[in-house]
Amino acid sequence: MAILVTGGAGYIGSHTVLALLQRGDDVVVLDNLCNASREAINRVEKLAGKKATFVEGDIRDRACLRDLFASNSISAVIHFAALKAVGESTRMPLEYYENNVAGTVVLLEEMRDAGVWNFIFSSSATVYGADAPVPYVETTPIGGTTSPYGTSKLMTEFVMRDFAKAEPKFKAIALRYFNPVGAHESGEIGEDPAGIPNNLLPYIAQVAIGRLEKLGVFGGDYDTPDGTCLRDYIHVVDLAEGHLKALDYLSKVEGYTAFNLGGGKGVSVLEMIKAFEKASGKAIPFEIKPRRDGDLPAFWADASLANTTLDWRVTRGIDEMMRDTWNWQSKNPDGFR
Ligand code: NAD
Ligand code: UFG
């Protein structure tokens, strides 16, 4: 039996495929490469000393899914495939709903028809919306999302919830990620954003190698200790390990359930800059800019449910996140290209 990983050539997917191969699982990767490179999987296979089956295809392509389920024996699906740029989603909402929500519905229909009932979904802290108290805890009702991207995650969780109510065989876990950063410690795989990065750490890393001139810090007047936003950054390898724990737990799940995957601590933008400078020995010039639309001042996870139920917790701190980001970026200044 193999694990199907959709979006497995992407940032978080590739780290998870590596962890699965390293523990001996068979893996089928389905990715349309709209935001990833085949090279990521080549490197994963080299690191693991084991091959994955790679299918270049789209989760919305029924014929492709049917063929994949018919020719591979799949025990569970880890579903990363999605479009993920918050700003872009406000300009292209239909594309985001079509890819992320409708695409997931097609995937679930084809899983049902193939008799595959185990499902892990990449959700996000954004499903808690703008008004949830911090730290975010799973018992807080989700909703009040502020972008089509966030709403696509919320809607997909509702799809999972309702399908699980109707179909007792379906077992589903939504993993709500906080802010994934870092790279595999080998420096062979990491985050490779197309164009100018939207996210903080890839931006900082590209300033450090000289591809970008200086960082704009979005807002210095928030009601936080240093005036910049607080986020719960989580090392991507810790996050990948969370998926393995969730897979192991699926057999005990009744229907649909959700877990926060975060470290439980808020770190400011200025603290991130300082930590990166320490790890890389590079100065990061920055300038305080106006607030970015839609940014929340501060949020972090209450991850105690994942700690106790999944027996999962973060083991890598900010220093490791920075060390591994810099190692990846300096070894691969042009990413996988
Ligand atoms: P990524 O863009 O690196 O990975 C997504 C992968 O899915 C890419 O390889 C892309 O080519 C593929 N893909 C997209 N649409 C597809 C489709 N229709 N069919 C097949 N493949 C498709 O992003 P990531 O950072 O690795 O994120 C993985 C998942 O985690 C996404 O669902 C994302 O929304 C979610 N998430 C990410 C973050 C984050 O900050 N990175 C935070 C919370 C949740
Ligand atoms: N920031 C800057 N300058 C930049 C980029 C970011 O100051 O050039 C700041 C932001 O204002 C924010 C912090 O850095 O305060 C983190 O921003 P990111 O864009 O890295 O991350 P977000 O918290 O906005 O969102 C990320 C993902 C979302 C996901 C969310 C919660 O992009 O997909 O984490 O998981 F939903």
Of the listed ligands, the closest to the CA of 152 is: 1
315: pLDDT strictly greater than 90: yes
Model pLDDT for residues 243-271, shown as the tens digit of each residue: 999 999 999 999 999 999 999 999 999 99
**E strand or H helix that includes residue 312:** none
Tell me how far apart the alpha carbons of residues 147 and 231 are, in angstroms, rounded to a whole number: 18
% pLDDT > 70, the chain: 100
> Where does the pLDDT of residue 104 fall: very low under 50, low under 70, confident under 90, or very high at 90 and above?
very high
Model pLDDT for residues 262-295, shown as the tens digit of each residue: 999 999 999 999 999 999 999 999 999 999 998 9
Token look-up 């994955």 returns 52
63 C-alpha to ligand 2 centroid (Å): 36
CB of residue 135 inside a 6 A radius of ligand 1? no
Model pLDDT for residues 220-249, shown as the tens digit of each residue: 999 999 999 999 999 999 999 999 999 999
| Ligand 2 nearest-atom number relative to CA 294 | 24
175 C-alpha to ligand 1 centroid (Å): 13
What pLDDT is attached to residue 63?
98
What pLDDT is attached to residue 337?
86
Mutation choice for ligand 1 from 4, 18, 35, 127, CB with most ligand atoms inside 8 A: 35
Tokens of 64: 């492709």
Model pLDDT for residues 13-52, shown as the tens digit of each residue: 999 999 999 999 999 999 999 999 999 999 999 999 999 9
Q: Is the pTM of this model over 0.85?
A: yes
What pLDDT is attached to residue 47?
98
Q: Write the residue with the smallest CA distance to atom 6 of ligand 1.
A: 7
Q: Mean pLDDT, the chain, as a whole number?
A: 97
Mutation choice for ligand 1 from 58, 62, 94, 122, CB with most ligand atoms inside 8 A: 122
Q: What residues flank ligand 2, with Cβ below 6 Å? A: 84, 86, 124-126, 177-179, 198-200, 203, 215-218, 229, 231, 269, 292, 295
Tokens of 270: 């200025």
Model pLDDT for residues 53-89, shown as the tens digit of each residue: 999 999 999 999 999 999 999 999 999 999 999 999 9
- Active-site residue flag, 136: no
125 Cβ contact list (under 8 Å, min separation 6): 136, 176, 177, 178, 179, 232, 260, 262, 299, 301
